A and B are shown apart, each in its own frame.
Chain A
Amino acid sequence: MLDEEILRMEGITKEYQMGEETSVVLKGIDLTVNRGEFLAILGPSGSGKSTLMNIIGCLDVPTDGKYYLHGNLIADEDQTSLARIRSVEIGFIFQSFHLLQRQDAYQNVELPLIYANMPEKERRARVEEMLIKVGLEDKMHHMPNQLSGGQQQRVAIARAIATNPTILLADEPTGALDQKTGAQVMELFHELNNEGRTIIMITHDPKIASHATRIVRILDGNISEGELGDA
């Protein structure tokens, strides 16, 4: 099972039209990720890592090349089908948490389950299970501004894993946290990975990347396999 291929990119390019000029952000990316991997995509800002994340997360489609997610080719999908794919396949974790400020922890975790059409009873059990998993069972009805940064990111992680997605896609997940809470979040990532979840983490920080079991480097739109401890 562990060797099952769940993501494959073949010659992915992404171009943006900027007035007269075309800027090529991704220049033919080949990447394969197997189930259960904890992959870090390491690169400085401007390297194209955000664009790559958007394509992996089905927020954007490539200009050229082939992207298979869970065996399905993601190509000229419209926004509605992309939303459905995201709902099932992707769990996002953002640098700045992106919690809805007027909703409590419970409601924030519930949100993707509503979009995934899970019935209410099942939803409740699931939300509670997720919040227990990230250690926030006593903060279920706290609003985001009543939670510390680390706790907010835990809510965001609970939200990301609630739908049991194929890939957990984290964008600088510790970027807004201090070192200690950042380490705790990484601890949680290890736990999730040990349970068999596939994690792809985008970061510019080699120290954070070193938590992953595999690192690829991205620079100027090209990707290269890195070594652990290569930082």
Chain B
Amino acid sequence: MNNLAIIKQSFIMSLQNIRANKMRSFLTMLGIVIGVGSVIGLVTIVHIVTGAVMGNLSGLGAGKLTIYGYVSATKMGLTENDVKQLSAIDGVLGVAPVASQSATIVVDKEEYKKIRLRGVSDIYFRQNPDSVTAGRGFTGSDMDGNTNICIVEESFIKKALKGKQVLGGKILIRGVEYTIVGIAKNDESLLSYMTSASALEGAVLVPFKNVLSMEGKKIIYNAEVYVKEGYDIGMVESSLRSALSNMYNGDKDAFDVINLQSLNTMMDQVKGLLSALMGGIASISLLVGGIGIMNMMLVSVSERTKEIGLRKALGAEPSRIQLQFLIEAVVLSGMGGLIGIGLGLGIALIASAIMKADFVISFSAIAMGVGFSAAVGIIFGWVPAKRASELNPIDALRAE
């Protein structure tokens, strides 16, 4: 078969026809442009929004469990001994406890009340090296309880240290002088929002033991548990649960073990569902665009009856005529689709700027746009192409 030549020729001819009927082609394409544009735009926006939420989660997700030990009737959160026991569980690489306390901090004689103080262990910084943006994290030797150093979160700097020397600077925590050795990113994770109302105000991080030796109410209410490679995170999770259950005398409401990976999976499902929903709604406009294509192709077939008759007289089989008109429909809808992809990405780009979220190009959305527009061309081009292929050559040649 010489179909390649037919396809090439049909392609060129359809471009010629589009050019010859500029206005009509443009209006016909507009339906597809809007259809594909809204599919791409909405799906990409869904990706951007869910991506922004998941970006915070995903960094924390892999190989990690977060446990929460609440204050119950018999127990004031987790103890150091609990942490030691949990560290010994098979499959646990390390436990990074966080002791939380709210404290008054003095910077240059100015008091800042109720600042969240987090006692963090060196394991946390080993596992999350990216959390420190300047200076350093805590190391093993800082963990003796007598090293008075701290790391401040960025929003605390905004609040209390604006325009001041941060690294190497000194602040008073509960009357004791601490040297700032590092700057940490704000803990913007979803969990932080859920568990600490003051997350937005920024926290000061000190070595874990320092918090324990301070006065006042201090609770180890959460800890990050890192799982050794090769261990099933679900297995470790259930070991942790039974250990915690023992510690809390069987009170299962007094603690939580959160597996962020399973949260991620859930978010993925939500994202898929949202994309499908948005895409589904937007496809309705694609349907309308498709009807426009069909209409234009039907007009085109009746206008070019004579041409069709001639091609048949010259030996074109019905299937080749059909192929030619199908290609024209696909070129028309495909061009509309390409413009629509540009439009949709443009809308998503603007939306991401407004939402201050990272713009991500969703390749699945683009593939969907290309696929949809081609499919629309084939589906809605089919009837006109079939009609063209079935024209009687004698009548067609005689047509004016």
Query: Contacts A98-B306, A98-B310, A111-B311 given: A83-B20 contact, CB under 8 Å?
Result: no
CA distance A120 to B314 in the complex (A): 18
Closest to B390 in A: A79
Query: Which one, B5-13, B52-60, B282-290, B367-375, is touching chain A?
Result: B5-13
The DSSP consensus for interface residues of chain B is helix
Query: Contacts A54-B394, A60-B394, A83-B312 given: A114-B317 contact, CB under 8 Å?
Result: no
| Chain A residues within 8 Å of chain B by Cβ, number | 28
In the bound complex, do residue B319 and residue A80 qualify as a contact, i.e. CB atoms below 8 Å apart?
yes
CA distance A102 to B320 in the complex (A): 19
State whether the Cβ of A57 lies closer than 8 Å to any Cβ in chain B. Answer: yes
CA distance A206 to B354 in the complex (A): 82
State whether the Cβ of A142 lies closer than 8 Å to any Cβ in chain B. Answer: no
Q: Mark B331-366, 1 if CB is under 8 A from A, else 0.
A: 000000000000000000000000000000000000
State whether the Cβ of B393 lies closer than 8 Å to any Cβ in chain A. Answer: yes
State whether the Cβ of B176 lies closer than 8 Å to any Cβ in chain A. Answer: no
Q: Interface range on chain B: under 10, 10 to 19, 20 to 34, or 35 or more? A: 20 to 34
In the bound complex, do residue B310 and residue A80 qualify as a contact, i.e. CB atoms below 8 Å apart?
no
CA distance A100 to B309 in the complex (A): 11
In the bound complex, do residue A114 and residue B6 qualify as a contact, i.e. CB atoms below 8 Å apart?
yes
CA distance A115 to B318 in the complex (A): 11
The interface residues of chain B lying within 8 Å CB-to-CB of A114 are 2, 5-6, 9
State whether the Cβ of A84 lies closer than 8 Å to any Cβ in chain B. Answer: yes
Interchain nearest-CB distance for B195 vs A (Å) = 70
In the bound complex, do residue B394 and residue A59 qualify as a contact, i.e. CB atoms below 8 Å apart?
yes
In the bound complex, do residue A92 and residue B314 qualify as a contact, i.e. CB atoms below 8 Å apart?
yes
The interface residues of chain B lying within 8 Å CB-to-CB of A163 are 315
Interchain nearest-CB distance for A42 vs B (Å) = 21
Instruction: Point out the residue from A79, A92, A118 that lies within 8 Å of B2, measured CB to CB.
Output: A118
9 residue pairs, one from A and one from B, having the closest CB atoms: A87-B315, A115-B315, A117-B2, A112-B314, A83-B317, A98-B310, A80-B317, A115-B316, A114-B5
A residues apposed to B, CB below 8 Å: 54, 57, 59-60, 79-80, 83-84, 86-88, 92, 94, 98, 100, 102-103, 111-112, 114-120, 159, 163
A–B pairs, 7, beta carbons within 8 Å: A60-B394, A80-B318, A87-B315, A88-B315, A114-B6, A116-B2, A116-B315
